[in-house]
Amino acid sequence: MEFQNISIFHPDQDIYSLTWIVALPTKKIFVNKGDADEILNVSQLIHKVFNIMDPSNDGEDEKLLKYKEKIRRKIPLKERSSNTVLTYGLIGLNIVIWLLMELNGGSQDVNILLLFGANEPFLVLKRDQYWRLVTSMFLHIGLSHLLYNSFALYLFGTRIEKYYGKIKFLFIYFISGVFGSIASIFFSNTVSAGASGAIYGLLGALLFLAYKTNKEIEGLNTYTILVMALIGIGLGWIMPSIDNAAHLAGFLSGLFTGKILLHPVRKEK
């Protein structure tokens, strides 16, 4: 096959254009007689594109196979809830309980914390008060603790509730919170309270969702979520007042639970 090259050669110029025709059905490249048939491995690149586009090609190299497999495993980002009322409900509940503690002696008073259900190793393990693993998730020590967790719950909870759905949101939240509380009693010998374990669980599930969809989730992508998690957990190692065991256990629980609950895309037959 020959065709007329409409490009004009100018020897005194640095740029010279060539016209190639690519036949998609046969995957062949046609070059006009007298023109260069290879420039900077362009033809090789074109053939690689053909290999990616053709799922029946058995001659593709290992890198192309891995690339196609990576693309195939991605799933669409789909909203599963039209509102985030549960997230706001949890924030409101935390605020109400904190106000009640303040009215009864103060949220930083150990006796008040224990009275309202704070986590404590001896009471849980020796007195079988396992309900503290859950009730401690709704208590906060001081105003700054409440404000920080409320903002984090809003930031991650609204996204998880919207894209996982309400039931799965609650499942991730409480599973992560309970595992965070369990880690706290085994790696700490003090009274602990807060929703941090559950919130880090939401962060872990959000990380998996962003990675699996390869999408920005309302401004947060895989990289930014991972950096936020690493910074939070890193601060826990240098600040003794932070229950880092609960954070790490909650994060891993949320990451694993989010993976289990996320629906894969159905394969076309």
Task: Give catalytic residue positions.
Answer: 196, 247
DSSP string, 41-108: THHHHHHHHHHHH-TT-S---HHHHHHHHHHHH--------S--HHHHHHHHHHHHHHHHHHHTT-TT
DSSP string, 233-267: HHHHHH-TTS-HHHHHHHHHHHHHHHHHHSPPPPP
Tell whether the torsion through CA atoms of 194, 81, 172 and 250 is positive or negative.
negative
Rounded distance between C-alpha atoms, residue 145 and residue 137, angstroms: 12
Please give the C-alpha separations between residue 45 and each of 39, 52, 95, in angstroms, as whole numbers.
11, 11, 59
Indicate the SS3 state at residue 22: strand
Rounded distance between C-alpha atoms, residue 190 and residue 160, angstroms: 31
